[in-house]
Amino acid sequence: MQTLTHRVQYYETDRMGVTHHSNYIRFMEEARVAYLEQLGFPYAELERRGVISPVTAVNCKYLATTTFDDRITVDVRVEAFNGVVLTIGYDMTKQDGTRVFTGTSEHCFLNPEGHFIRLRRDQREFYEMLMRELNVHHPMNNQTTIGILGSGTWGIALARLLHRNGHDVTVWSKFPKEIENLSATRTHPALPGLVIPETVHFTCDLQTVASGKDILLFAVPSIAIRQTAESARPFIPDGQIIVDVAKGIEPDTLMTMTEVIRDELSKDGQHDHVKLVALSGPTHAEEVALDMPTSIVSACTDMQVAETVQDVFMNTCMRTYTNTDVLGVELCGAMKNIEALAVGISSGLGNGDNARAALITRGIAEISRLGLKMGCAEYTFGGLAGIGDLIVTATSMHSRNNRCGILIGQGVPPQEAVRQVGTVEGINALPAAMQLMERYQVEMPIAKAVNAVVKGEISAKDMALALMTRDKTSEVRQSELAVRFESALMRHISGGIMR
């Protein structure tokens, strides 16, 4: 809190001898200018940076009178700040300690052309100063209450990360024995080296985990998303921010996981304004649990909500990016598991790095073909949620899809491979992938071959042969005439240079 002392001048009083009420607005302005200057951001410097901060609202309450020669102390603080609107609070007292005035002013931030500025992105230093001041005066504002549905490896790794970020975390599972073990041992059997903080709460009660939370995180397997949303619906308020970290596409409906959640919650007609975020990227729980550097994508059609989630998850070990292409991010998250199965099968057959690189490259090519037909943004497929997630899933032994594929390639029946490895989202996604391929008439030879192997229609060895002996094609998606014209043009240019 910063203070400014103002001595009431004779001209500031009215015929009754008291300070005219309009002057208090000016005292607020003077105090705000001095406050920002004390913090290292004088108005002249902000304008030099291209930041204009007009007043959008003023709220005043007069508590006592002042008169000529009174000395008024104005205390100034950041009352609220959401990255777009700044609210500054003011308290005024006179020399005898009498509180005479309280008020607030609201401000937005514009560039010289009159367009809104996102301070967090465009004026990071100023943004961070305002956030620090907010946390000084309202320390609890930075603590977000989070409920996590699901106590698997990803749910627990994220619970620890979010607790480490200073948030209040409650984890739910429908299995009482699981909750009992996690609560008692403060460890997870599949996450060696992880210690769950004592202040992370555990429950089997859906109302406890879902009610009164700033963010609700769905971390159950994709096949359990709809049932979990249905069970939790009575306890989820409309307007709730919901973050989904499950990756998959529901067969028959062909909905992504956030679409499944929205569909299930909307059935009572009382959840039309929930805010859904897909959190996805190259993120193994085993590494996040040990604070290894990781990057992830917060995807939401509402950029402000995406940035809210970005701020909640981001720390020195978790770098979070935003994206508005929710469908593209979720499609990549589901389909890359199938491509990773193919890479695993190839490795199980004894093939090497060349085959692995080819399958990853052609895998993202067929995912992007489908995504573009569905209206997704092309840039998503070259980002963390696209090629990034595919690389980590297809190459790491942390990946159940990769390990399951290796077993299948070695001759283990698919059903037995799943039993040995656990939940394999790539196999769960296959029916939906085949339906999407048919609906949008997109060629997806790798996914189609994996489906044939899993269904027992061909062997893993035959899959590799079938992919290698497909009809010739070009890597460039252009007409044959265009390709031949470009080739002839390049030969002509090259020949001219040689001569």
Which has the closest alpha carbon to 373: 243, 254, 223, 245? 254
Cβ contacts of 67 within 8 Å, gap of 6 or more: 8, 13, 17, 18, 19
Helix 153-164, helix 303-313: angle, nearest 10: 80
What's the pTM value of the predicted model, to 2 decimals?
0.71
What are the backbone dihedrals phi and psi of residue 316, each rounded to the nearest 5 degrees, phi first? -70, -15
Q: Name the catalytic one among 94, 213, 247, 336.
A: 336
Integer angstrom CA distances of residue 75 from 18, 103, 104, 139: 21, 11, 11, 18
The token pair at 408 is: 């299948």
Whether 336 sits among the annotated catalytic residues: the reply is yes
Whole-angstrom distance, CA of residue 50 vs CA of residue 119? 11
pLDDT in tens, the chain (499 residues): 467 788 999 999 998 999 999 999 999 999 999 999 988 899 889 989 999 999 998 999 999 999 999 999 999 988 888 777 889 999 999 888 899 999 999 998 999 998 888 787 788 888 888 888 877 665 545 578 999 999 999 999 999 999 988 899 999 999 999 999 999 999 999 999 899 998 999 999 999 999 999 999 999 999 999 999 999 999 999 999 999 999 999 999 999 999 999 999 999 999 999 999 999 999 999 999 999 999 999 999 999 899 999 999 998 899 999 999 999 999 999 999 999 999 999 999 999 999 999 999 999 999 999 999 999 999 999 999 999 999 999 999 999 999 999 999 999 999 999 999 998 999 999 999 999 999 999 999 999 999 999 999 999 999 999 999 999 988 876 555 565 666 677 777 766 544 4
Neighbours of 487 (CB within 10 A): 10
R_g of the chain computed on alpha carbons: 29
Cβ contacts of 488 within 8 Å, gap of 6 or more: none
Per DSSP, helices labelled H in 220-352 are 225-232, 257-265, 285-288, 303-313, 326-348
Which has the closest alpha carbon to 296: 281, 311, 277, 278? 281
Neighbours of 103 (CB within 10 A): 18
